[in-house]
Amino acid sequence: MSKIVWLASYPKSGNTWVRFIIAHLVYQNIVTSDDVHRLIPDIHKGITSFHLIGERNIFIKSHLKYFDGMPLREDTIGAIYIVRNPLDMIASAINYFAIRDVKTLSEVSDEQQNTIRQSVIREFLEKGAPERWLRVGMGTWTEHVSSWLRKDLPFPRLVLRYEDLKTKPGECVADLCQFLNIERSAEQIDAAVAASSFDSMREMEEREIGEGRPGLFGLENPREAFSLGLRFMNRGDSGSYREVLTDEQAELAKQRFGPVMTKLGYEADAPPRIYTFANGIKIDRKHLLQIQCDRYQAPGNPNLHEPVEEDCFLSLFEKLPGGIATFMDIGAAVGYYSILVKRRFPQAAIHAIDALERHCQAFVETFALNELSMDGVTVHKSALADKEGTVQFLDQAYGSMVLPDGQGSRFHARAISAEAHRLDTYVARAGESVDLAKMDIQGGEAAVLESSGTVLRDGKVRSWIIGTHGPEQHKRCLDCLSAHHRILFEDPKPAFQPDGIIVAVHESVEYPIDHALAD
């Protein structure tokens, strides 16, 4: 009989992620998600006699809370317990139930969809878990954690926190190797981490969907969900609950789960509501993801949003002849860079462009929080695209973007219709002359520049700071700008920033060569 090492967790806490890590670490040669499911079966579906017969050790996934009559308990030799902040688990569970109930959600209005999602939140807050999870023996989050971590269990356990896997995966995987008594080099650990990253797993899911064999991911998703753009690999963020739960709901969740959260190192007490950067800019934490706050406070980061990009802004403020009279903030979000400009050039005209209503509202709130006037500031609730008219826009927090033609609401449940304009239209609205444009539009930047008409050639935007998203976008942007601009700085992977960066000035600008940022 095989000896069992459990991969145990409450649902939506990272179990699939750890299955992939172990598969790459222990078995290697993982090509498809079916390989993972075959080698590390799920007690709820897919376990066979093949897994249990023989003298060997085997990993089995489980979402059951531990109980004295647990199947295979006599053959258990250890458990890896994965735990996640329960507030983020709730946010992830809402996407999960949207997937499971896709036939219902695809046939109701947005208001009705929200009612369904709110009912899931209400079950967590009132009962500790959705009724369907309670019926099948998963218990509440508190019961589940307590059952697997109780002191009298007769086998060793390793606790892995989802958040630690995000911030220090190498250390966590090294701990995993030690627990399993297997030797792996630092290179092998790094390879397992890379092959199991969110992006790698999401790429595998998309590839398998495209090939008509969604594998392990298809066990979790009805096929109807794929056609609506719903994915098992949804976001993988820490702190995403702030976009899903109201402040009141988050507080109620902390009250319910607080004692166990504290034992696991999660702060049940809310951090200060306002996040303050080293430069004094204040932003309400409800507008930030935890992964962003972690990046701001990482060793070496001077507690700035994107330190390399901010240095570029400050250099242009000082060296651009004539200063900044008109600033265009494309993909403005909460307005961090508009605040930088407003503080340095109070009389500047600022045009903030963002297609999401809540980002536009957050922009105004953040200006008020920083005690700045909105005089001279125009907020355009619309998208920047390579065409005029209406586009499908993926509402995905700070990853929101214009979708390619044909990939609208039919394929993405979170797509909205948005008004869109080309770059030359926005420049005309700004008076045909923009001193500095910042553009961060999640992969649409090259297409916008390529369709910009005479804007680039004629220098209607004197200087640019562009966030690039991937090597191809970075190269295409450089190609567009190089004909009529001097590239002051470019880096596809700057430190402490998720995106690449290009800084350029038009050839007509008398920017001193010895002040080129790349120097």
Higher pLDDT, 325 or 32: 325
pLDDT score recorded for residue 8: 94
* pLDDT tens readout for residues 437-467: 999 998 899 999 999 989 999 999 999 999 9
Higher pLDDT, 243 or 163: 163
Any idea which of 17-31, 152-166, 484-498 has the lowest mean pLDDT?
A: 17-31
Percent of the chain at pLDDT exceeding 70: 84
Check pLDDT > 90 for residue 52. Answer: no
Higher pLDDT, 414 or 122: 122
What band does 221 get if pLDDT is binned at 50, 70 and 90? very low
What band does 270 get if pLDDT is binned at 50, 70 and 90? low
Is residue 384 classed as helix, strand or coil in its secondary structure?
Answer: strand
pLDDT score recorded for residue 54: 56
Q: Are 334 and 283 in contact (CB under 8 A)?
A: yes
pLDDT score recorded for residue 40: 87
pLDDT score recorded for residue 51: 52
Residue type, 364: V
User: Which of 491, 88, 495 is closest to 291 using CA atoms?
Assistant: 88
Write out 29-62 in H/E/C secondary structure: CCCCHHHHHHHCCECCEECCHHHHCCCCEEEEEE
User: Which of 379, 383, 363, 359 is closest to 444 using CA atoms?
Assistant: 383
Highest mean pLDDT among 47-61, 209-223, 271-285, 365-379: 365-379
pLDDT average, residue stretch 352-360: 92
Q: Per DSSP, which regions of 349-428 are E strands?
A: 349-353, 377-380, 383-384, 389-394, 401-402, 415-421
Q: Residue 504 is inside which H or E element, if any? A: strand 500-506
pLDDT average, residue stretch 158-176: 92
Check pLDDT > 50 for residue 36. Answer: yes
pLDDT score recorded for residue 225: 45
pLDDT average, residue stretch 320-341: 95
Any idea which of 192-196, 405-409, 412-416, 484-488 has the lowest mean pLDDT?
A: 405-409
Q: Tally Cβ neighbours within 10 Å of residue 361.
A: 14
**For residues 319 and 291, what is the distance between their CA atoms, to the nearest angstrom?**
33
**For residues 366 and 358, what is the distance between their CA atoms, to the nearest angstrom?**
12
pLDDT score recorded for residue 291: 82
Any idea which of 10-24, 36-50, 164-178 has the lowest mean pLDDT?
A: 36-50
DSSP class of 234: -
Write out 263-317 in H/E/C secondary structure: HCCCCCCCCCCEEECCCCCEEEHHHCCHHHHHHHCCCCCCCCCCHHHHHHHHHHH
Residue with tokens 């092998």: 188
Higher pLDDT, 201 or 463: 463
pLDDT average, residue stretch 405-416: 57
Percent of the chain at pLDDT exceeding 90: 50
* pLDDT tens readout for residues 124-136: 999 999 998 999 9
pLDDT score recorded for residue 411: 42
Q: What are phi and psi of 60, to 5 degrees?
A: -135, 130
Check pLDDT > 90 for residue 382. Answer: yes
Q: Tally Cβ neighbours within 10 Å of residue 24.
A: 23
pLDDT score recorded for residue 101: 54
**For residues 500 and 242, what is the distance between their CA atoms, to the nearest angstrom?**
26
Q: What are phi and psi of 382, to 5 degrees?
A: -165, 170
* pLDDT tens readout for residues 283-304: 988 888 878 888 898 899 999 9
Check pLDDT > 80 for residue 359. Answer: yes
Any idea which of 54-58, 66-70, 145-149, 379-383 has the lowest mean pLDDT?
A: 54-58
What band does 113 get if pLDDT is binned at 50, 70 and 90? low
Check pLDDT > 80 for residue 209. Answer: no
**For residues 363 and 3, what is the distance between their CA atoms, to the nearest angstrom?**
56
pLDDT score recorded for residue 183: 92
Strands 383-384 vs 349-353: parallel, antiparallel or unpaired: unpaired
pLDDT score recorded for residue 283: 94
Sheet bearing 415-421, strands edge to edge: 383-384, 415-421, 389-394, 401-402
Average pLDDT, the chain: 84
Please name the residues in contact with 109: beta carbons below 8 A apart, sequence gap of 6 or more.
none
> What is each CA distance from 388 to 175, 317, 384, 452, in whole angstroms?
53, 32, 9, 12
Q: Give the length of the chain.
A: 519
pLDDT average, residue stretch 321-343: 95
Any idea which of 158-162, 236-240, 504-508 has the lowest mean pLDDT?
A: 236-240
pLDDT score recorded for residue 116: 72
Higher pLDDT, 463 or 510: 463
pLDDT average, residue stretch 149-174: 92
**For residues 502 and 439, what is the distance between their CA atoms, to the nearest angstrom?**
10
